[in-house]
Amino acid sequence: METRKSIRRRKPLLKEEAAVETCRASKRKKLLLKEAVEDKEDRLSNLPDGILHHILSLLPVKSIAKTSVLSTRWNYLWATVPCLDFSEFSMKEKRRERKREAMELIIKTVLAARHANFNIKVFRFKGQLGVTCLGDWIQQLVRHSVEELELDVVFGGRFNLPPCLFDCDSLKSLTLKTHHLNSWFQFCSYDFTRTGRGLRSLQTLTLKHVRFIYNTSAALFSASSFPALKRLTLNNCIEINRLNIGCPELEGLQVERTKMNVLDISAGEKLKNLRVISSFRASKNESWVKIFAPKLETFCRENNEFPEEYSVQSFTFLKKCSICITSSCGYRSNINAEKINHAISFLSSLVSTQKLYINITNLCAAKKWGITLLDNSRYTEEQYWESEAQVLRSFLDHLKVLTIHVHFSMRKSTIIATRFLLKHGSVLQEVILRSKDTRTHLWKEKFIIDVPWGSPHVKISIRDGTVLEFMRKTRENVNVKGP
């Protein structure tokens, strides 16, 4: 039996053993935690480069750069990541010049430190940039076989695109944009066509604020230069008097605010979508349009002058079409009977169109249309349209939805043309009339009273600045309903 004295002697020993055990437990816990951390780090770091590059490509470039301090392994990954997106950096007015110089230095360092064997899949940049730095970047990106290049820059002045860019067979997508009025990319089309250069693998091309130097009638966008091009966008490009497009794989074409006199499209059967906006100008020189796209499905033609010649085939697959009728006022107003006949010929080519949107943005256009018809024919406007009914028969037998938007007061010519379409549209289901003119009762009088409708169950929607009304006419009566 232990005495009180022996028990008192054992108490310090118990405390020491407990402290030792606690210390051992703490060490074991730290060791286990360290092993867990090491195991977790090893699992992530031991992944193949392709998987890690894909993970990093989902992060902002700032976050990718921060990973380079983790270890030598991650420093290597940062230097070899295939996607470099610098489009999210914002340069505020305060200290913009300093930030621009810092950004140029960062990107220059990243490209210079990159090993020659590691290609760049995607490179994007948006912001202000110096011309010299821009040229150096493009040359280094071409050496690294860039596949997708997107530059949305402001540099001030003009920048000649380096010839090496048009010899880059790895490039699949190219976007060149600048929004500043004094910034222009310059493209030497003469050297491009004469030297046999071409972007053989390019599928998407977007050009904004590009000046074409030495533009000739040769087909710049041809099968030899762009054999794989599928989507082409030209926005606010200058000095393209003749635009010839013959890319066999082209599926979508958009031309906007690109002034020209001649448009020749012979892309082939793969062209599905076509938009030509604010590009055809009034000119005393020759002007003509030729379109060969038998499989075209959507066509938007807005804010363009009438050309002297218009040659199009029947669009047997076209389902949706948008037309904007406009004309310049003053000495350049050049609507004549021949151009009106070309417009009628264009409508007759819409043999299977089901949805038609007509936008009348200029009061002069509607007024001069009617005056020209009266001056150049022996018909009244009603008689002229009736004489074209047979020519437009296929178009009228397929049209289901008609939208007419008048931005000014209603003109007699507009009402007569709409009455004609309403009278002969045998399968019309809906007619939408929009105008800023608040005299809605004029529309009612013109379309309800003594107007035969080709389709007995068509619904008409009239919208002015304040009121929306629906009208439906049946064989027995006419019902006018409020909104």
Q: Is residue 342 part of a domain?
A: yes
Question: What pLDDT digit, counting tens, does each position of 397-444 carry?
Answer: 999 998 888 776 667 777 788 888 888 888 988 888 887 765 555 655
Q: Is residue 393 part of a domain?
A: yes
Q: Is residue 466 part of a domain?
A: yes
Cβ within 8 Å of residue 346, ≥6 positions away? 310, 312
Q: Is residue 353 part of a domain?
A: yes
Segment (H or E) for 226: none
The domain total for the chain is 1
pLDDT of residue 41: 52
pLDDT of residue 173: 95
pLDDT of residue 20: 63
Residue 10 token pair? 């054992």
Residue 128, pLDDT above cutoff 80: yes
For residues 350 and 478, the model is more confident at 350
Mean of pLDDT over the chain: 75
pLDDT of residue 112: 81
Residue 52, pLDDT above cutoff 60: yes
Q: Is residue 103 part of a domain?
A: no
d(CA 261, CA 254) in angstroms, rounded, equals 16
pLDDT of residue 203: 95
Which of 109-113, 125-129, 141-145, 164-168 is least confident? Answer: 109-113
pLDDT of residue 232: 96
Q: Is residue 224 part of a domain?
A: no
Q: Is residue 334 part of a domain?
A: yes
For 171, counting Cβ atoms within 10 Å of its Cβ (0-12 exposed, 13-18 middle, 19+ buried), the class is buried
* Total count of residues recorded for the chain: 483
d(CA 416, CA 13) in angstroms, rounded, equals 113
Q: Is residue 84 part of a domain?
A: no
Give the rounded distance of the alpha carbon of 125 from its chain centre.
Answer: 18
Rounded percentage of the chain residues whose pLDDT exceeds 90: 13
Which range has the top average pLDDT, 62-71, 80-89, 136-145, 275-284?
Answer: 136-145
For 143, counting Cβ atoms within 10 Å of its Cβ (0-12 exposed, 13-18 middle, 19+ buried), the class is middle
pLDDT of residue 197: 65
For residues 89 and 143, the model is more confident at 143
The arithmetic mean of pLDDT across residues 307-324, rounded, is: 81
For 215, counting Cβ atoms within 10 Å of its Cβ (0-12 exposed, 13-18 middle, 19+ buried), the class is buried
Question: What pLDDT digit, counting tens, does each position of 220-269 carry?
Answer: 788 888 899 999 999 998 888 888 898 999 999 999 988 888 888 987 78
Domain that includes residue 376, residue range = 293-483
pLDDT of residue 478: 38
Question: What pLDDT digit, counting tens, does each position of 267-292 carry?
Answer: 778 999 999 988 876 565 677 888 88
The arithmetic mean of pLDDT across residues 118-137, rounded, is: 87
Task: Characterise 348 by phi-psi region: left (phi > 0), alpha (psi -120 to 50), beta (else).
Answer: alpha
pTM over 0.75? The answer is: yes
Q: Predicted confidence band at 176 (pLDDT cuts at 50, 70, 90)? A: very high
